[in-house]
């Protein structure tokens, strides 16, 4: 019974973290720009780089999950994220 509740909870937390991670760069651009003394518009390369890395690593993580197992890849991703 516990496993039926824990798996959706883990998935929900992972999706929440992914959504929070996706929005953090956009909301922090003004602060980053102020720290380095430039306009937030000049940091468009940072947003582009983030989106490009997502486009590359999401399919790559799917392939690795197929090859090594979803649980192993998920644990490794959490370890790298922390």
- Residue 32: closest CA among 14, 15, 50: 50
Model pTM? 0.61
Residue 25 has pLDDT above 90, yes or no: no
Interatomic CA distance for residues 26 and 40, integer angstroms: 10
Query: What pLDDT, on the 0 to 100 scale, is given for residue 56?
Result: 92
pLDDT of 33 > 80? The answer is yes
pLDDT at 1: 64
Residue range 37-70, pLDDT digits in tens = 988 888 888 888 888 988 898 899 899 999 999 8
pLDDT value at residue 52: 92
How does 10-44 read in b/e, with b if 16+ C-beta sit within 10 Å?
A: eeeeeeeeeeeeeeeeeeebeeebeeeeeebeebe
User: What distances in angstroms separate CA 17 from CA 23, 36, 44, 67, one per listed residue?
Assistant: 10, 27, 23, 24
């Amino acid at each position: 019974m516990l496993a039926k509740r824990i798996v959706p909870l883990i998935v929900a937390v992972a999706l929440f973290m992914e959504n929070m991670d996706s929005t953090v760069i956009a909301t922090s651009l003004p602060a980053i720009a102020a720290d380095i003394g430039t306009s937030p518009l000049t940091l468009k390369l940072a947003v582009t780089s983030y989106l490009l890395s997502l486009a590359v690593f999401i399919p790559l993580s799917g392939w690795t999950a197929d090859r090594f197992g979803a649980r192993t890849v998920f644990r490794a991703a959490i370890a790298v994220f922390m």
